[in-house]
Structure 1
Amino acid sequence: MATFVLIPGAGCDSWYWQPLTAELRERGHDAVSVDLPAEDDTAGLAEYADAVVEQIGDRTGLIVVAHSFGGFTGPLVCERLPVDVLVMLTAMVPSPGEAPGEWSAATGHDQAIREAAGRDGTPEEDHGFDPTYYHDVPAHLAAEMQKHPRGQSETPGKEPWPLPSWPRVPTEFLLCRRDRLFPATFMRRVVRERLGIVPDEIDGGHMVMLSRPAELADRLVAYQRRHQPATGNGSAM
């Protein structure tokens, strides 16, 4: 049995992982849906990693899944605990010394958004919720998500990412082909340039854990099985 550690993106609580958590448990695994101190102006990236480590406790067989802004926290956890696999789920990929607030300019994210809008047209309001995030999420789940608002402190966005290099842990990247926040063409380039790997791909938008939880669970379990022979921190990518 593996333990999937689910790290949320900016301004999100653990609720949005619930459909995926249920799917992982149906497949015989444990899941820890992490809450980060997102609204705490005294909490930076180190405190985010502390929160993840504390909520993991003494669990083992760790598969860390970092979503979106969680990409700045997931690798820090891998330096603190023995992790079998790090899965970057349509996540920001940091470089040493780069603050999250610098990531967009450094990667050309704003330009990528403009180019994607030019190709695909302006997203329509599909069911009254922010189409950047919820265009393919069932309406009842998008509505429930609105009941779990979280603020997001600017503090971690100002802190340089502290690792001198990527952690020595097997890393998988899963991008979402219909992601309107991190367009697929953009993410393919970022992953190639920063991780030196070819990302896997899944249909769905940025909140794929709500729109396709069963398919996502299958992908995550496949990664766990792929790296199952490894124990603790594996070799570099």
Structure 2
Amino acid sequence: MSVFVLVPGAGGSAWFWHRVVSELRTRGHEAVAVDLPGADESAGLPEYTDAVVAAIGDHRGVVLVAQSMGGFTAPMACARVPVGRLVLVNAMVPLPGETPGQWWGNTGSEPARLAAAEAGGYGTEFDLDTYFLHDVPAEVAAAGADHQQPEADIAFSQPCDIRAWPDVTTHVLAGAEDRFFPLEFQRRVAHERLGIKAEAIPGGHLAALSHPAPLAGRLIEYLS
């Protein structure tokens, strides 16, 4: 049995991972999804990191999985506690000292999103249905309404407090249908910043909700 600790993106709701948690537990593993104080204007990346470190606890060799903005918290946690493996899922990949607010411009994420929209024939104006929920089952999207919360501004201005990328085996999984962080954009960022190739998985930005079984299966494959 292995232990997976799952970090959500903006808003910080552990519910985001509930379908993957179920898949991992069904396959005999322990899975813990972390609730982050995303809406708290007094809490930011250091507090998010505290929550992840607390969730890891005394476990050693955990697989730490981070989605979207959770990519800023995960390496900070790896700098504090031993982690067996780090998996980024449609995640922001920060440079040491970079803030989430700086990341968008530094990586060129907005031009990449617009170019993908024009090529894919869907709207360039951001809305949740087009960019986040387009492949999420309707009943799952409806259930998620009660778990949505805003992301407080404080975290966007705080740096990823690491001196270098942590010395831990890192994988990048990118949704083949991700409209927010398009696949080729994620592959470029992973190559430029980590020197690794992002691997395509089924689904969009919220692949944990739309395609939990393939995602859980890929996470388990890394154990071998």
Using structure 2 for the length normalisation, give the TM-score.
0.95
- Identical aligned pairs, as a percentage? 48
Tell me what 1:59 maps to.
Answer: 59
Alignment of 1:133 onto 2:132? yes
Query: CA 1:97–1:61 in 2, change beyond 3 Å: closer, same or farther?
Result: closer
Q: Is the 8 A contact 1:90 1:175 kept in 2?
A: yes
SS at match of 1:190: helix
1:1-237 aligned at under 5 Å gives the runs 1-123=1-123, 130-225=129-224
Q: Report the alpha carbon displacement of residue 55 of structure 1 after superposing the two structures with TM.
A: 2.3
Unaligned runs of 5+ in 2: none
SS at match of 1:22: helix
Q: Is the 8 A contact 1:134 1:142 kept in 2?
A: yes
Q: Report the alpha carbon displacement of residue 167 of structure 1 after superposing the two structures with TM.
A: 0.2
Query: CA 1:129–1:171 in 2, change beyond 3 Å: closer, same or farther?
Result: closer
Q: Report the alpha carbon displacement of residue 185 of structure 1 after superposing the two structures with TM.
A: 1.2
Q: Is the 8 A contact 1:89 1:173 kept in 2?
A: yes
The aligned amino acid for 2:70 is: G
Q: Report the alpha carbon displacement of residue 61 of structure 1 after superposing the two structures with TM.
A: 3.1
Q: Report the alpha carbon displacement of residue 131 of structure 1 after superposing the two structures with TM.
A: 2.1
Unaligned runs of 5+ in 1: 226-237
SS at match of 2:79: helix
Q: Report the alpha carbon displacement of residue 181 of structure 1 after superposing the two structures with TM.
A: 0.5
Q: Report the alpha carbon displacement of residue 123 of structure 1 after superposing the two structures with TM.
A: 4.5
The aligned amino acid for 2:87 is: V
Query: CA 1:91–1:129 in 2, change beyond 3 Å: closer, same or farther?
Result: closer
Q: Is the 8 A contact 2:5 2:63 kept in 1?
A: yes
Q: Is the 8 A contact 1:123 1:132 kept in 2?
A: no
Q: Is the 8 A contact 2:202 2:214 kept in 1?
A: no
Q: Please give the alpha-carbon distance, in whole angstroms, between the structure 1 residues aligned to 2:25 and 2:11.
A: 25
The aligned amino acid for 1:141 is: V
Query: CA 1:82–1:130 in 2, change beyond 3 Å: closer, same or farther?
Result: same
CA-atom RMSD, angstroms?
1.5
